[in-house]
Amino acid sequence: MSFLSAIVLAAGKGTRMKSDRPKVLHELAGRPLLYYPIALALELSCDPVAIVLGHRAAEVRAAMEALFPTAGGRLRFPVQEEQKGTAHAVLAAREALDDFAGEVLVLYGDVPLLGRPTIDRLLAAPAGRIAFLTSRPPDPTGYGRVVREADGRVARIVEERDCGPAERMLGEVNAGIYRVPAAFLWDALDRIGSANAQSEFYLTDLVALAAGQGVTAVAAPFEEVAGVNDRADLAVAAARLRARINHAHQLAGVTIAAPEGTFIDAGVRLGRDVTIEPGCVLAGDTIVEDGARIRAYSVLEDARVGPGAIVGPFARLRPGAVLEADVHVGNFVEVKNSRLGRGTKANHLTYLGDAEIGPGVNVGAGTITCNYDGVNKLKTVIGEGAFIGSDSQLVAPVEVGARAYVGAGSTVTEDVPADALALTRAPQQTVEGWAARRREKQAAAGGKPPKQRLKR
């Protein structure tokens, strides 16, 4: 238990997403929408964090438990069976917060961009009374309006549908994020009715109930409190989050050549002096260590790139790709679930899947690990300092020993001992004068191409 707890409202259907997936599971920079307010609440040491679920509750809960495996007992998942409004949703969390007597932070599951400085200002408002975030969006339509007294004190919040013409003109809106003393919250919720245009229980009525004791309105930038209601909102929020993520990496010593065209997920970690060229996608829990360079148009997903390595242009690192220090992976190379040892090079047109490759290996252009037999994924092992000639296939399970050579164009099906040469290509035949004879025949036949026959 701490002094601060949180309630995250996430029971709504999200009808406007027009989706078979619950709205709060739609992703932003590689994480579901609902991840962000929960992560913020945990970062603020809120305990407990009650996440009010409704629509497809079991599925959403399982997704969150998987994302926050160490949050343990701090997360609670009350269910609001029927969505009867925001006050009704908060009430659904009452039992989960039963023994809690501090302040309650109310967050929305579909407001992912709330920044730490803004929430810190909300938390710094005078204690023991309600504080909430307000904003001035370019177009206030749809939001609850903040009504103030002549002296500037907050009087109440009026929902769009309950607004008179004068109230509708007000530009200051309720962001829906509150900090409320728990005792006041439960007492006030018992007094909130549903006599309004939507016959719903409005959490906003708290503000009018508390106005006598004074309510603190804290101004927030609109882009931080904008909710995600449809896929257009989702794209706008994603672009903002991406810009924020890129900016933070830049300040931490990463060169990003074209930030607007670089997609870095929230879970990605980048070292100092990493360079990212235009058009790259770094997804999932990718890690790129100090001084590595990700060249243009490369796609990395749950991959690990060691210090000083060079990836791309046009490379694809799939989950489980691990490149040790100074590895080079070049154009049109795909690496999946494979480790490449220090200084190993695979520079052109190659597929490496389920491979364990030692240090100092040269993987020639067009090498393919044949790792799949239609049923099983099979392993290729290449020892330190081996040389794989261009256009070779390594048919797994197979092992090429340390310092061994595979001749270009070989199909390797049996293990190659250390320091050996494996060569499987057919011997070359050279037929002198063959092309000239063919041309003559074709001319004699009035341009008709002759039957192909190999004659010495």
Contact 130, 218 (CB under 8 A): no
Nearer of residues 89 and 268 to ligand UD1, judged by Cβ: 89
Is residue 91 near ligand UD1 by the rule CB under 6 A? Answer: no
Q: Which amino acid is at 123?
A: L
Query: Which 140-199 positions form the footprint of ligand UD1 (CB under 6 A)?
Result: 143-144, 157, 159, 173-176
Handedness of CA 35, 36, 40, 41 (dihedral sign): negative
Could you count the other beta carbons within 10 Å of the beta carbon of residue 222? 16
**How is residue 341 written in tokens?**
């040892």
> Rounded to an integer, what distance in angstroms lies between the CA atom of residue 357 and that of residue 388?
11
Closest by alpha carbon to 453, among 163, 437, 139, 24? 437
> Rounded to an integer, what distance in angstroms lies between the CA atom of residue 292 and that of residue 289?
6
Is residue 135 near ligand UD1 by the rule CB under 6 A? Answer: no
Residue 348 annotated among the catalytic residues of the structure: yes
Contact track, ligand UD1, 41-60, x by CB under 6 A: -----------x--------
Nearer of residues 131 and 173 to ligand UD1, judged by Cβ: 173
Query: Apex CA 233: angle with CA 227 and CA 235, to 5°?
Result: 130
Contact 309, 359 (CB under 8 A): no
**How is residue 275 written in tokens?**
């360079």
Contact 323, 308 (CB under 8 A): no
Nearer of residues 12 and 366 to Mg ion, judged by Cβ: 12
Q: Out of Mg ion, ligand UD1, none, which partner does residue 91 contact, by CB within 5 to 8 A per kind?
A: none
Q: Out of ligand UD1, Mg ion, none, which partner does residue 109 contact, by CB within 5 to 8 A per kind?
A: ligand UD1
Is residue 380 near ligand UD1 by the rule CB under 6 A? Answer: no
Contact track, ligand UD1, 410-429, x by CB under 6 A: --------------------
Contact 108, 33 (CB under 8 A): no
Nearer of residues 227 and 308 to Mg ion, judged by Cβ: 227
Would you tell me which residues interact with Mg ion (CB under 5 A)?
A: 227
> Rounded to an integer, what distance in angstroms lies between the CA atom of residue 135 and that of residue 127?
21
Q: Out of Mg ion, ligand UD1, none, which partner does residue 140 contact, by CB within 5 to 8 A per kind?
A: none
Nearer of residues 80 and 393 to ligand UD1, judged by Cβ: 80
Interacting residue ranges for ligand UD1, rule: CB under 6 A: 9-12, 52, 80, 83-86, 88-89, 108-110, 143-144, 157, 159, 173-176, 202-204, 227
Active-site positions?
A: 348
